[in-house]
Amino acid sequence: MAKPSQPATLEDVAALAEVSAKTVSRVVNAEPTVSVKTRERVLRAIELLDYKPNLNARMLAGERSYLIGLFYDKPGDYLTNFHAGAADRCRESGYHLMLESWDRDSPQFTRQVSTLLRQMRLDGVILLPPLSDDVLIGNILRDASVPTVRIAPRDHIEDSPSIVIDDYLAARQLTAHLLSLGHRRIGFILGKPGHGATEERYRGFADEMRAQNTPIEASLVETGNFVFTDGVACAQRLLSVQSPPTAIFASNDDMAAAVISVAHKRGLELPTQLSVVGFDDAPVATMIWPLLTTVRQPVTTMARLAAELIIENSPRRLGWPSPLPHRTLDFELLVRDSTAAPT
């Protein structure tokens, strides 16, 4: 592995292998029309010169960019995991990730996105919630015909693949767990209205309650917008009603942590006097006591899959395969220390 001060180019390899630059290009791009003998000679030259194709040139000349956009707006802690998973998959195929942070509420949002898209070709874009449900950005991407994969969108959008877990089913199972422990008065803290997960998780809760003939009291349903501070307020209200719930289902772990912190402050004994479940297995879920019973999404796997969908469809620019890939991945129910039978 020689290490020339000036990186080797296609021409250099071509000269060494005594073929044309175009043939080297063919080998690099794994085009089938190269004889075995030639291919091997070229590969040896590539090895020898430690040749790496220049991405910028490829982007400029070719129709691929080897770049995938990962767009987010105020994500939770999972961003790090998600990025790691997607980056990993990208590296395997010589792709790269361009992580872009947007502010959906900024007046410049639209302009910024379309500027980016026209500045560089992206082979695809992965949309993280809540961007997965954003019509504006969806349209921009469609108009620019950038293949888009949505993570956990509210609805299946019929022009782009999506990757989800079954929030509804997970919520049902979590509720069933609480019910099986003997809880009957269960409080529920909703996420942010309009967010896909908010509806599904509540629907799962409500259906399971109904299935087991347990009434849902209106006074025990609060809206916490997925954030800790709102969760605190919800918990306080929930625990102040005449006959407080024996268990609380928070739509995510941050809000569950809020419930637990309020309970601690009030001197409640956990989990005996109050059971709490969250959702997401966020870092905080295992950084408090009692450890949260929650649902884990396979974030890293989702990320890999999202990147993979784009990478695999990138060469042929024919659009997505049909039927459109909508993958539902398995979640994991994590029963930990925050749930117990009511006293």
What DSSP letter does each residue of 100-123 carry, written as one string?
EE--TTSTTHHHHHHHHHHHS--S
Pairing of strands 148-151, 124-127: parallel
104 binds its own copies (CB under 8 A): no
Sign of CA dihedral 26, 32, 33, 38: positive
Nearer to its own copies, 44 or 264 (CB): 264
Among 20, 29, 40, 54, binds its own copies (CB under 8 A): 54
**Residue 22 touches which of DNA, its own copies, none (Cβ within 5-8 Å per kind):** DNA
Nearer to DNA, 143 or 155 (CB): 143
User: In 3-state terms, what secondary structure has residue 164?
Assistant: strand
Q: H/E/C letters for each residue in 240-272?
A: CCCCCCCEEEECCHHHHHHHHHHHHHCCCCCCC
- For 88, counting Cβ atoms within 10 Å of its Cβ (0-12 exposed, 13-18 middle, 19+ buried), the class is middle
Sign of CA dihedral 125, 129, 131, 132: positive
**Stretch 2-31: interaction string toward its own copies, x if CB under 8 A:** -----x------------------------
Q: What share of the chain is helix, strand, coil (3-state, %, to 5)?
A: 45, 15, 40
Residue appearing with tokens 């974030």: 299
Among 254, 280, 281, 308, binds its own copies (CB under 8 A): 254
Residues 152-211 that bind its own copies (CB under 8 A): none
Nearer to DNA, 52 or 104 (CB): 52
**Residue 118 touches which of DNA, its own copies, none (Cβ within 5-8 Å per kind):** its own copies
Applying CB under 8 A, which part among 35-43, 85-93, 125-133, 196-204 lies near its own copies?
85-93
The footprint of DNA (CB under 7 A) covers 7, 9-11, 18-23, 25-26, 28-29, 32-35, 37-39, 51, 53-54, 57-58, 60-64
Among 136, 211, 289, 317, binds its own copies (CB under 8 A): 289
Measure the CA–CA gap between 23 and 248, rounded to whole angstroms.
Answer: 65
136 binds its own copies (CB under 8 A): no
Measure the CA–CA gap between 65 and 61, rounded to whole angstroms.
Answer: 9
Contacts to its own copies by CB under 8 A: 7, 52-57, 59-60, 65, 75, 77, 79-80, 83-84, 87-88, 91, 94, 96-101, 112, 115-116, 118-121, 228, 254, 257-258, 260-262, 264-265, 270, 283-284, 286-290
